[in-house]
């Protein structure tokens, strides 16, 4: 296997110091990797886009130092030059590049200014990184043909006789960019997902382009055939399932890595890239480093036929997810935690294996963690109560509390204790919110306020966890502010109950209405909710 690597997702609000990146590089070398991917998006201080460099962005001089310190480790930049451009698009200077105004995460491939910026970002990257591979993105560009200019271009192509105008638009964008990377003496790389819907776009890419085929719920054996048959070097890309978990689904992560490593060895793929995603929203890289170590050993020792997956190429995604959800053991990953101590092993087993086995909101799925998104991301923590109270107020919530209490004595660091706190505080918030709802429905506003009052402390405690994550693992500062916003919203809801919980409006707004950020007194019909144009 020529390429053995993993990716560190800076784009999700990480703020790595030189010391922390040095630690990750050292870990990579010691555990069988020969490359480390830095997934950058807007979190790199590109000289050509100083307006996009947020606080604590990765600096060029840090990369130069690391390359000098680890000459045998290829540090590969992942820049996104169409989709996942949102960190640029939602700045004042970058909004002019958007495919659709204040919507989505894709730039406009028909915008000449954007195309010029893409080349400048490539120049900046090549100037700093000495890696053979320059990854230019290309995944999840679902807004192809949606903006006014993009739609017009697609229609123009199809009127000229081209069958798939979106494929043409995509190919004409990434083909020249890949060729430009090649002209600078580097190897271009792109993600493979968009080619499944638009295979004609592959014909626009130079053959030296590497395709990273990410398959998080099955082996890449069958999907990668599209690329291998056309002569493209292919990198199989599994993931550690953190984005869809309160922490990490260890059994499914290990299975995914093993399947990709075996397929790469048997099919002589270019290599394997173990991805990690979205360690914002209370993710913590320190807690998953043993899983990253274990993955490196799996790649370095991959044998064709060992751990070979039995794959149904016709299986729907839902079937693959369901099959993955049935996996309950992660022997290899758990053994790696044991190398760090028995407490590490037991903590990882409880949180990474037993907790997901409860099912429901704790179980394995194909989407982001509902707990993390509804409690922190959407600006209204009461969404977690609204949508998931049956899971969290009922037996599964009680069982999760018991598991977190069992795991807490085994937590060997503030990082691991923070995960236990997140589990406990999430359940407690929904518990208090439901008690407040019941009291409010019984027209006992004082009692409802009493039940909600501890929720302020919940978010103060979680803010401390977020601050510790930022200090210890260079994690998200946005999480600190999300906790503050959640606490303020709880305080606002308490005031609303005080003012309107006695029926002074002549009617009692539903608790769902009263806890919503858009609640407006006297708007009894919730016009802000029921009209399709309410958020436009």
- Which position has the token pair 């999480």? 479
HSE of 413 in the Cβ direction (CA atoms, 13 Å)? 15
C-alpha to C-alpha distance for 285 and 279, rounded to whole angstroms: 7
C-alpha to C-alpha distance for 451 and 440, rounded to whole angstroms: 10
Name the nearest CA neighbour of 420 among 290, 291, 284, 326: 284
pLDDT digits (tens, 9 = 90+) for 338-351: 999 999 999 999 99
Q: β-pairing, 271-276 with 239-240?
A: parallel
C-alpha to C-alpha distance for 136 and 188, rounded to whole angstroms: 7
Whether 95 and 101 have beta carbons less than 8 Å apart is answered as: yes
Whether 97 and 114 have beta carbons less than 8 Å apart is answered as: yes
Whether 275 and 238 have beta carbons less than 8 Å apart is answered as: yes
Question: Residue 32: left (phi > 0), alpha (psi -120 to 50), or beta?
Answer: left
C-alpha to C-alpha distance for 171 and 179, rounded to whole angstroms: 12
User: Largest alpha-carbon pair distance within the chain?
Assistant: 73
Q: β-pairing, 103-107 with 98-100?
A: antiparallel
Contacts from 28-32 at CB under 8 Å and sequence distance 24+?
28/73, 28/296, 29/70, 29/72, 29/73, 30/293, 31/292, 31/293, 31/296, 31/297, 31/300, 32/4, 32/296, 32/297, 32/299, 32/300, 32/301
Torsion angle of alpha carbons 403, 404, 410, 416, nearest 10°?
140
**Rg, Å, the chain Cα set:** 24
pTM for this model (two decimals): 0.97
Q: Tokens representing 96?
A: 């002019």
Low-confidence ranges of the chain (pLDDT < 50): none
pLDDT at 276: 98
Q: Tokens representing 202?
A: 């592959």
Q: β-pairing, 239-240 with 3-9?
A: unpaired
Question: Percentages helix, strand, coil for the chain, rounded to the nearest 5?
Answer: 55, 10, 35
C-alpha to C-alpha distance for 219 and 122, rounded to whole angstroms: 32
Question: Residue 495: left (phi > 0), alpha (psi -120 to 50), or beta?
Answer: alpha
pLDDT at 535: 66
C-alpha to C-alpha distance for 523 and 58, rounded to whole angstroms: 47
Q: Tokens representing 203?
A: 């014909």
DSSP code at position 354: I
Angstrom distances, CA of residue 442 to CA of 438, 497, 511: 6, 13, 11
C-alpha to C-alpha distance for 435 and 453, rounded to whole angstroms: 11
Query: For residue 495, how many other CB atoms are within 10 A of its CB?
Result: 11
pLDDT at 230: 97
Interacting residues of 471 by C-beta distance below 8 A, sequence separation 6+: none
Classify the C-alpha dihedral 507-510-513-516 as positive or negative: positive
pLDDT digits (tens, 9 = 90+) for 183-241: 999 999 999 999 999 999 999 999 999 999 999 999 999 999 999 999 999 999 999 99
Class of domain 3-336 (CATH, top level): alpha beta
Interacting residues of 394 by C-beta distance below 8 A, sequence separation 6+: none
Q: Tokens representing 455?
A: 């929720």
Angstrom distances, CA of residue 409 to CA of 100, 342, 467: 50, 12, 22
Angstrom distances, CA of residue 521 to CA of 208, 278, 508, 513, 531: 62, 37, 10, 10, 18
8 - beta bridge partners? 38
Ordered by start, the domain boundaries in the chain are 3-336, 369-530
- Which position has the token pair 């290990």? 254
């Amino acid at each position: 296997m020529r390429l053995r690597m993993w990716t560190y997702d800076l784009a999700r609000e990480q703020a790595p110091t030189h010391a922390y990146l040095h630690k990750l590089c050292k870990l990579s070398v010691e555990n069988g990797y020969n490359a480390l991917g830095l997934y950058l998006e807007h979190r790199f201080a590109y000289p050509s886009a100083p307006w996009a460099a947020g606080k604590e962005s990765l600096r060029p001089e840090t990369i130069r130092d690391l390359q000098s310190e680890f000459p045998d480790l290829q540090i590969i930049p992942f820049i996104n030059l169409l989709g996942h451009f949102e960190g640029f698009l939602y700045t004042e200077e970058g909004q002019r590049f958007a495919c659709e105004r204040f919507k989505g995460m894709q730039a406009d491939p028909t915008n000449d200014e954007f195309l010029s910026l893409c080349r400048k970002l490539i120049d900046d990257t090549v100037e700093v990184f000495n890696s053979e591979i320059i990854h230019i993105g290309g995944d999840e560009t679902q807004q192809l043909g949606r903006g006014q200019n993009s739609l017009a271009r697609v229609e123009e192509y199809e009127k000229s006789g081209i069958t798939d105008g979106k494929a043409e638009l995509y190919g004409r964008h990434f083909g020249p960019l890949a060729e430009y990377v090649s002209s600078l003496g580097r190897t271009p790389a792109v993600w493979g997902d968009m080619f499944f819907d638009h295979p004609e776009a592959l014909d626009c890419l130079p053959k030296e382009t590497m395709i990273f085929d990410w398959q998080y719920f099955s082996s890449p054996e069958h999907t990668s055939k599209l690329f291998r048959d056309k002569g493209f070097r292919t990198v199989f890309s599994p993931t550690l399932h953190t984005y869809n978990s309160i922490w990490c689904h260890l059994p499914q992560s290990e299975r995914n890595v093993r399947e990709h490593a075996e397929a790469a060895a048997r099919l002589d793929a270019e290599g394997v890239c173990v991805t990690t995603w979205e360690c914002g929203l209370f993710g913590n890289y320190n807690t998953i480093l043993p899983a990253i170590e274990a993955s490196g050993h799996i790649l370095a020792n991959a044998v064709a036929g060992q751990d070979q997956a039995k794959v149904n190429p016709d299986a729907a995604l839902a079937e693959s997810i369901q099959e993955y959800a049935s996996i309950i053991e992660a022997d290899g990953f758990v053994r790696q935690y044991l190398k760090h101590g028995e407490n590490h092993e037991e903590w990882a087993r409880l949180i990474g294996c037993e907790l997901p086995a409860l099912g429901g909101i704790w179980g394995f799925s194909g989407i982001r963690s509902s707990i993390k998104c509804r409690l922190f991301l959407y600006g209204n923590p009461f969404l977690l109560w609204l949508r998931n109270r049956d899971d969290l107020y009922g037996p599964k919530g009680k069982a999760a509390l018991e598991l977190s209490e069992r795991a807490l004595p085994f937590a060997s660091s503030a990082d691991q204790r923070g995960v236990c706190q997140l589990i406990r505080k999430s359940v407690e918030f929904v518990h208090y919110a439901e008690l407040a709802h019941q009291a409010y429905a019984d027209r006992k506003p004082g009692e409802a306020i009493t039940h909600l009052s501890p929720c302020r402390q919940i978010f103060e405690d979680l803010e401390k966890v977020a601050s510790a994550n930022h200090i210890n693992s260079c994690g998200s500062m946005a999480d600190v502010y999300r906790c503050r916003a959640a606490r303020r919203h709880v305080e606002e809801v308490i005031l609303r109950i005080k003012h309107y919980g006695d029926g002074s409006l002549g009617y009692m707004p539903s608790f769902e209405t009263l806890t919503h950020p858009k609640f407006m007194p006297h708007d009894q019909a919730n016009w802000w909710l029921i009209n399709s144009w309410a958020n436009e």
